[in-house]
C-alpha cells in the first residue's frame, strides 16, 4: 500500500512538471519553479555525496548554446529599444527545466530503483488521462470546478470566457503540445516493448491513447498533430505500409477496432442528445465536420494561419534583428496578431535568433540520442513535432528533452522490468 502511495505522489510531481500552474495558496511561483528549487538542492547534495557531478559535460555545451540564444535576444531588444524579455533570459528557463526534471527523475528512481523512458511514458500517460478526466469534471461538475478554481489554479474566468476545457495546469495550445509529446512517447515505447507487454497492458495503452486523443482535442486541437505522427509511426512499425502485418500486433489491432467502435457509439449518442457535448465534439474535430458538411478540410485556426503567411517581414533589418517584440507592447496578445511560431521568433530577434534556437534544440536531441540510443526515433519525432507545431504556435518542447536527458543519469541497467509494469 505504501508503495502505491509513493507512486501516486510521484505522479502528482510529474503532473506539476508537465502541467505547471501557480497555486492560489502560493501565488508567487509556479509548481515548475518549486520543483526546480528542490531539484537544485538535491543535485548539490548528490554531488557532495558522490563527490562528482551527476550531470555530464554535455550539459554545459547546451548551456553555452542557450546563453548565446539569450545573448542574441538581448542584443535584438537593445537594438530595437524594447523591454520584451520573453526569451532574453532563456538560459535561466533551461536551468529551471533541468533542475525540475532532475527532481522528477530522482523521485522515480527512489520508488522504482531506476528511471527510464518506459517508466516515464507510463507516468506521462497516467497524468494526461487524469488531466483529460479532471477537465471534463471541471466542466460538468460545479463542485469540482469551484474547488479547482479556489484552491489550485485561478484560470476559470478566462477559460469560461472563451468556452474552453481546462484541467489543473492544462489548457489551450500548451497542453496540446504535451499531449502530442506523450502520444509520441507512448507509441515509441509501445513498439519497443510490445513483446514483453501483457494483453491488459496493451489494452490500457489503447484506452489511454483514445482518451488523450478525444478529450485532448477538446482541450486543444494541437493534440491532433501528435495523433497523426504517432499513428503514422505505428502503421509503419506494424508493417501495414508494406502490406505485411506483424503477428505481435494482432491483439493491438483488434483492441483498437473495439475501442474505436465503442468510442464512436458513445460519441454518437452524446453528440445527438447532449448539446454541450456536441459543441465540444464539433470543436475538437472541426476539420472533419467542415469536410463532411462543406467539402473542405479547414478550421478557424487554419484560416488564421493562412493569414499569417502574408505577414513576413518586408525589410532586411527586421529579417536579421527582428522588431524586439514577442508579445504586443500595447495590449495583451501576440505581436502583430501573429500566431505562427516561426514568424513570432523572427519578429522577436530575427532569423539569426531562430537559427540559434534550432541549433540549441538539435543539440539537445543529439545529447538524448547519445545517452539513450535505443529511442533515437522518439527524439527525432519530437523535434519533428516541434518544427510542425511552429507552423501554428510558438512553443518549446525542451522540457521533454530535459527529462529524458536527466533520466539517463538515473538509469540502472540491472533494474527489473517487472517493476515498470506496476504503473501500466
Contacts of 227 (CB under 8 A, 6+ apart): 180, 183, 213, 217
Match 559535460 to its residue by C-alpha cell.
57
- For residue 173 the three cell numbers come to 495550445
pLDDT of the residue at 178: 93
Provide the grid cell at 410.
Answer: 538515473
pLDDT for 415: 44
- Name every residue whose Cβ is closer than 8 Å to that of residue 27 and which is 6 or more positions away in sequence: none
Q: Give how far Cα 331 sits from Cα of 73, 164, 327, 373, Å.
A: 22, 22, 9, 46
> What are the residue ranges in the chain where pLDDT is below 70?
27, 51-57, 153-162, 240-247, 297-298, 300-309, 411-424
Say if residues 266 and 281 touch (Cβ distance below 8 Å).
Answer: no
* Residue 406, all three cell numbers: 536527466
Q: Which residues contact 276 (CB under 8 A, 6 or more apart)?
A: 140
Q: How far is CA 287 from CA 221, 284, 302, 303, 417, in A?
A: 10, 8, 9, 11, 41
pTM for the model: 0.89
Q: What is the pLDDT of residue 157?
A: 56
Amino acid at each position: 500500500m505504501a508503495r502505491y502511495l509513493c507512486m501516486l505522489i510521484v505522479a502528482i510531481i510529474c503532473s506539476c512538471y508537465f502541467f505547471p500552474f501557480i497555486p492560489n495558496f502560493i501565488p508567487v511561483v509556479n509548481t515548475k519553479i518549486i520543483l526546480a528549487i528542490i531539484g537544485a538542492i538535491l543535485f548539490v547534495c548528490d554531488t557532495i555525496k558522490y563527490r562528482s557531478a551527476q550531470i555530464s559535460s554535455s550539459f554545459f555545451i547546451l548551456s553555452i548554446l542557450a546563453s548565446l540564444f539569450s545573448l542574441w535576444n538581448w542584443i535584438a531588444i537593445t537594438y530595437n529599444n524594447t523591454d520584451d524579455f520573453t526569451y532574453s533570459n532563456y538560459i535561466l528557463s533551461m536551468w529551471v527545466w533541468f533542475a525540475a526534471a532532475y527532481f522528477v527523475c530522482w523521485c522515480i528512481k527512489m520508488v522504482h530503483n531506476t528511471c527510464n523512458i518506459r517508466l516515464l511514458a507510463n507516468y506521462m500517460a497516467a497524468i494526461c488521462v487524469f488531466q483529460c478526466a479532471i477537465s471534463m469534471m471541471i466542466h460538468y461538475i460545479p463542485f469540482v470546478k469551484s474547488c479547482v478554481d479556489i484552491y489550485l489554479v485561478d484560470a476559470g474566468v478566462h477559460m469560461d470566457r472563451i468556452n474552453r476545457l481546462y484541467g489543473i495546469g492544462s489548457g489551450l495550445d500548451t497542453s496540446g503540445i504535451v499531449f502530442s509529446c506523450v502520444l509520441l512517447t507512448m507509441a515509441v515505447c509501445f513498439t519497443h516493448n510490445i513483446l514483453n507487454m501483457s494483453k491488459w497492458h496493451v489494452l490500457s495503452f489503447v484506452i489511454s491513447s483514445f482518451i488523450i486523443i478525444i478529450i485532448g482535442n477538446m482541450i486543444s486541437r494541437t493534440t491532433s498533430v501528435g495523433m497523426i505522427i504517432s499513428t503514422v509511426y505505428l502503421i509503419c512499425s506494424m508493417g501495414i505500409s508494406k502490406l505485411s502485418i506483424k503477428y505481435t500486433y494482432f491483439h493491438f489491432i483488434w483492441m483498437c477496432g473495439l475501442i474505436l467502435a465503442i468510442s464512436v457509439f458513445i460519441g454518437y449518442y452524446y453528440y445527438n442528445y447532449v448539446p454541450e457535448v456536441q459543441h465540444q465534439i464539433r470543436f475538437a474535430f472541426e476539420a472533419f465536420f467542415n469536410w463532411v458538411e462543406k467539402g473542405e478540410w479547414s478550421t478557424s485556426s487554419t484560416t488564421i494561419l493562412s493569414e499569417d503567411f502574408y505577414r513576413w517581414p518586408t525589410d532586411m533589418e527586421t529579417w536579421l534583428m527582428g522588431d524586439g517584440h514577442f508579445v504586443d507592447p500595447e495590449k495583451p496578445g501576440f505581436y502583430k496578431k501573429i500566431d505562427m511560431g516561426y514568424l513570432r521568433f523572427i519578429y522577436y530577434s530575427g532569423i539569426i535568433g531562430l537559427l540559434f534556437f534550432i541549433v540549441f534544440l538539435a543539440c539537445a536531441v543529439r545529447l538524448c540520442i547519445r545517452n539513450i540510443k535505443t529511442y533515437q526515433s522518439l527524439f527525432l519525432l519530437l523535434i519533428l513535432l516541434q518544427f510542425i507545431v511552429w507552423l501554428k504556435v510558438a512553443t518549446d518542447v525542451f522540457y521533454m528533452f530535459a527529462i529524458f536527458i536527466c533520466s539517463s543519469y538515473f538509469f540502472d541497467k540491472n533494474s527489473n522490468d517487472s517493476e515498470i509494469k506496476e504503473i501500466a
